[in-house]
Structures are given as C-alpha cells and as structure tokens.
Structure 1
Amino acid sequence: MARRHPRRIPRGNFAMDAPRDVCDSKPPATPGQEPPGHTCMTDIVLHQYADSPFSEKIRLLLGYKHATWKRVEIPVIMPRPDLMPLTGGYRRTPVMQLGADIYCDSALIARVIDHILPENSIYPAGNEATVNAAARWTDSEFFRICISVAFQPRALAQSPLFSDPQAADAFMRDRRELTGGTSLTMPLATALPAFHGHLARLDRQLGSSAFLFNSTPTEADFSTYHCCWFVWRNPALETEFAPYPHLLKWMDVMREFGHGDATELSSADAVELARRVSPRVADGKSLAPMDGLRPGEDVQVMATDYGRQPVAGVLMQSTLEHISLLREHPRVGTVAVHFPRQGFQVERTTADAGSQHGD
C-alpha cells in the first residue's frame, strides 16, 4: 500500500467545514457539548493492558454498548515505542484511537463512545451534571483511596507482579516518573475507613436502586465499578466486600456486561492505521475564549493532577468540554490528539518549545 505523505500542519484559523463521514447522520449535539473528531462508527482501537483499572472502565462500557473493537495490548511500564508517536508523550492508560484521531483520558473516551453508540446513553437527561460530578470524584478521590487499599502489604504478597523484586522495582520506578514523585496513595489507616465508609453508602443506595442513578447505568457506575474491581480482584481483599451484599450484587450485574466483541491488533498495525488516514479537522469554533488562545497557535496540554508530561502541538479546537491538537510524527503523519477540558490545562508555547514528534 502506498505510503500516505504526512500533511503539513496548517497554521492560523481552522474555520472550515469538516467533511462529514458517510455514516454521520446523527443530529448535532448542543454546540460545545459534542465530542471532538469522529461522530460515526468506525474501528474503535483501545490501547490498554489487562490490569489497568481505567482500561476496565472502558472495556466494560464497550461491553454494555455491544461494541466491536480492537485491543492493542501495551506494556505496563515504559517504553511504549508505538504509542508515544500517536499521543505525543501522553502516558496514562487507556488511549482510544479512531483512525488518526487519538483520545486521551477515560472521561473523554467514555463520552466519545456514548456519542458514536448513542443507544442506552450513560448520560441521562436531567442528571448529567450530577453524574459528571460523581464520576469525576470517583475517578480521582475514590480511586486514590482504592489504590491505597489495593497496595497494602497483604495484597501485594499475592500479586504476581510484586513476587518478582526486579519487576516490582521497575513498576514503582515507572510510576514515580509518571506522577513526578508525588504519591497517589495515602496511609492505609486513612484509606481503609474512607473505603468502607463509601462502600457502606453505595450498599445502602443500591439496596433500593438497580444502578447508582436508578434503573440504567451511567458513567458513575462504570467509574465506581473499576475502582471496586481493582481491589476486589485480589483474592486477599475479597473479604473487604463481604458486608455489602447489594454492592456485590450490583458488581455481578455490571460484570455481566462483558467486554464486547474484541479482537487483537498489534501496536505496529495501529500506527499504520493512523498513517493511512487523516484526522477530522474541527470547524474552528471556540467556546472557551477565556483561555486567550486561538486555533493555529503552538500550545502544550498537560494533566493538572498527575501524569503531567506535556503534549505539544498546534491548537485545532478549544471548547468548554475539550481541547484538540494537531501533531506530526514521521511514523504516523498528522494526527489529532484530543483531551477533556476537566483535569487538563492548555497554554501557549513557542514554536520550538516541546517536541512535535514525541517519543
């Protein structure tokens, strides 16, 4: 197959109409609310690894949506030589790929999946703000609590990873580099009461409701499940859930969604997939003028909590909901990298500040 020549990243205004995909027939979302990039069903590629809790959140959502998708198994720790050219240096897991559009952070990935597979939406009308707040707290504060519980000594003693001192040391060194030396954990004496306090609240609520927000699951259910799953899956910690029968029943129901119809894809094939196509170009509308940036400027995006490795590129779109960059790399040509607005910051850079090529 002929190689697609990388497109030169354009500068200036991106105010143009993007070509619509042939299956893009859904009515438009509220301006500024629609996810960036693709709005039709194409091959979903998820770059993930089996033990990743946030990957489990997305795998389970794909199962709930009865999705057909491709799974790229990435290394648990760096280096990730085929993923970095796609993301520009973003290291957190998972990453979703639709052609040459790359989506970072499970919150944005969940919204894009819900948009292209809209049946049984996980963002119910009338509860969107509440669901969003619950999912964000769960994916941040409750996740920290669960990490602290999951990494207690009696749990690590039964972990295959930590049975190998060299592998354990490499893992901890990698995570220190990811977090910039700041710990995601808290003392177990602090985490355990908070953990059981929240499980007790969940159990009471689920005693009168099939899911956290009534009769159908929302993003908050998938966020809560992956946190609980990360603790529960260790045999040494299963008994922590014994006092909470309604929670356990809910976990059984969630687990029954499965992971959809997944097939393996090599990381090299995922790179080739991006190289063969072009990303969707946004229409240039910006509903977040308060950030002082315009499409076409050189910027960098980074997380505001951990994993603060900056991703540099040319600003394509900046709205109240997401930030999109265009980047070039010799192996993949031009790609668009998309981030949620919540949890990320964007700032102007000089043209040579930050590599345009990533790792």
Structure 2
Amino acid sequence: MTDLILHHYPTSPFSEKVRLILGAKQLAWKSVIIPSIMPKPDVLALTGGYRRTPFLQIGADIYCDTALICDVLEHIEPRAPLFPERQKGVARVLAQWADGTLFWAAMGYNLSPKGAAAMFAGQPPEAAQAFATDRGAMRTNMTSLRPGDATSAYRSYLRRLSTMVEDQPFLLGDAPCVADFSAYHPLWFTRVVNPAVADILDHTPGVLAWMDRMASLGHGQMSKFTSAEAIAAAVAAQPAALTDGFFQNDHGIELGSRVTLAAEAFGTEPTEGILRAATRTRYTLERQDDRAGTLHVHFPRIGFVLKEVRA
C-alpha cells in the first residue's frame, strides 16, 4: 500500500475525526500541514478546487470528505471496524447527523462573540477578520444558527449524547464506531481548541468521560511530510485502477464526460475533470495538473452535486 498522506491542520475538527480513526486502527500516516484559510495553492494543485479540510492522499488518488475517507480507511484496515455489523445503517445515519446538525450547533456556540474573542485573544485584529472572511465565503447562501439558538441546540444535543453512554462506553455499544468519531470532533473543538467556552460540557459528565475514552485512542504513527513532497509523491504515482465497474447513472451523464463536483452547502468551490466512475457510493474525476500530474479525485455521492460541463 502506498503511504497514507493526510492534509490537515492541528485545530481542524474534521481532521481530528480522521486522526483519531487512524489511531483506533493503529495506522501509520504522513502529516502535511496546510493553511487554515485561503490561499491554498498546494491544496488546489491536488484537489482541483475542493478546499475543505482534511483530505486524504494515497499516491495520485485524492479522497475528499471525511465520510469517504472513513470508507477508504475501513477498506485498508478492517480491524477496529467503523461500521458495526448489525448497526451499519444506524451508525452511518448518526454520523451524518453529527457531522452536520451537531457540528453546526457546536460551531455556532464555539464561535459566538465570546468564543471568537477567546480564540483570537492575543492575535492581531486582522487574524480574526481574515478567518471570518474566509469562512463567510465558504458559507455563501448557507443559513447559520445565531449564537443563542446554537447554544440551546448544543445543550440539548449534549444531553442526548449523555443518555447514549449511561450504560455503555460508546454511543452504540462496547467499541467506538463511525458515529463516535463524528460526534466527538465538534466537542473536541470546544474542549481543546477553545477551552474558554468548555464549561458547557460540565453539565454532562458522562459525555466528558466518553470523550476521555475517545481521546485515549491516540493518533496512530504520524511522521511529518511537506506539501512539496506530497505533490512529488503524486507525480511519481499513477492513479489506482478503478476495480468497481458498476455505473449508477442517476443524472444522464455518461462516463468520459467533462463534469464538475461541488459540495451541496459549505465550501462549494467546484472541482472539474473527466468523470471516470460513478458507483453506488462515490464519484471519481480524472484531472491533469501542471504540478501534480494525472490525478483521480474521489468524492462521496451524498452531499455533493454533479453537473456536466457544456461547451
């Protein structure tokens, strides 16, 4: 197997989700630290437009969105399974809720005026403004919760999570699954990245104990890597063969067509390329980059919009 290369930055909550999964599965991986805000020239050389964090690189294959990254890591290392055999559907649905509804409530609380002031304390005013401008651009046409509404929702969601770990160590049983990793990362941001507002967690001690169990999984075997080395690794490789020949054509767009793929809501910058695969669960685009060579960029179907590029 070619090296696992995770492009991330330390305070990224979705990156923490993947870092913990790498730890649970005891995998070795290379760490490329990327900017938290634009510009991101080395990122775009690999993804072609997608700018959300993190993304996973394996040679000349680029995997976008943590939902897809979870499937890739599960295939590589089935031990410490993310999808419990008799609860696969429940685990995926709960993870999707946590990555969306729970995440946005938590971040609305974490980045409330009080939270933002604490996060950027000691930094020049332009740092906070640059972050706000960057994230504002990513939320174009997206409705955001007001801080008060986000706080109310976050408190309720924490109580609901607490009831799930009253009689068992993890959300769906005796071992962590994808739902645990998805629910953990926005709470981790509260507790670790912005502890000035972490008192909201004190009302659910069961959640804090569960978070301790999650944190103990660690981050696997990480080694440092540069973005230049990652681009060189892509150039030196060829995209892996597409072994799943199943084509699910829900759009009337044939393989070989020039298309774009973009997230439905947050971070909607499109990636353009040639549609090489459209399976039941994912899309694959082939694209050429002057610096990174021939790449396959992979996206999950759920949460992404496929459009044909017409001349």
TM-score range (shorter-chain normalised) is over 0.9
CA distance in 2, matches of 1:198, 1:123: 22
Cα distance, 1:160 vs. partner?
3.5
8 A contact 1:145–1:186 mirrored in 2:
yes
Does structure 2 conserve the Cα–Cα contact (< 8 Å) formed by 1:161 and 1:167? no
Q: Percent identity?
A: 39
C-alpha contact 1:303 1:343 (8 A) present in aligned 2: yes
Distance of 1:350 and 1:285 partners within structure 2: 25
Which of residues 179, 186, 207 is equivalent to 2:166? 207
Summarize the alignment of residues 128-207 of structure 1 with structure 2, pairs less than 5 Å apart.
Answer: 128-160=88-120, 163-180=123-140, 182=142, 185-207=144-166
Helix, strand or coil for the counterpart of 1:323?
Answer: strand
Q: In the alignment, what sits opposite 1:68? A: 28
Unpaired runs of 5+ residues, structure 1, are: 1-40, 352-359
Superposed displacement of residue 283, structure 1? 4.3
Deviations 1:268-324 (A, max 9, x none): 000000000100132472342222122211111111112111111001100120000
Counterpart secondary structure, 2:286? strand
- 1:103 is matched with 63
Q: Secondary structure at the match of 1:83?
A: helix
Paired position in structure 1 for 2:234: 274
- Report the counterpart of residue 31 of structure 1 in structure 2: none
- Cα drift, residue 241 of structure 1: 1.0
Residue identity opposite 1:226 in structure 2: H
Rg larger for: 1
Q: Take 2:104 and 2:274, find their aligned partners in 1: how far apart are those partners?
A: 33
- Larger relative contact order, structure 1 or 2 (CA cutoff 8 Å, min sep 6): 1
Deviations 1:18-69 (A, max 9, x none): xxxxxxxxxxxxxxxxxxxxxxx33100000011000010001101111110
Which residue matches 2:79? 119
C-alpha distance in 1, partners of 2:222/2:250? 41
CA contact under 8 A between 2:164 and 2:172: conserved in structure 1?
Answer: no
> What TM-score results when the alignment is normalised by the length of structure 1?
0.83
Q: Structure 1 residue runs of 4+, over 3 Å off?
A: 160-163
Q: 1:80 to 1:248 in 2, by over 3 A?
A: same
Q: Offset of 1:161 from its aligned partner?
A: 6.6
Instruction: Name the SS for the 1:223 alignment partner.
Output: helix
Pairing of 1:307-322 with structure 2 (within 5 A): 307-322=267-282
Q: Which moved more, 1:270-279 or 1:281-290?
A: 281-290
Structure 1 residue 347 and structure 2 residue 286: aligned? no
- The aligned counterpart of 2:262 is 302
State the shift of 1:163 in Å. Answer: 3.4
Instruction: Please name the residue that 1:47 is paired with.
Output: 7
SS of match in other structure, 1:242: helix
Are residues 60 and 264 of structure 1, via their aligned partners in 2, closer, same or farther at CA, if it must alter by over 3 Å? same
| SS of equivalent residue, structure 2 residue 246 | coil
Question: Which residue of the partner structure matches residue 36 of structure 1?
Answer: none
Unmatched segments (≥5 aa) in structure 2: none
Contact 2:244 2:279 in 1 (8 A): no
- 2:209 corresponds, among 249, 255, 269, to 249
Letter in 1 for 2:117: A
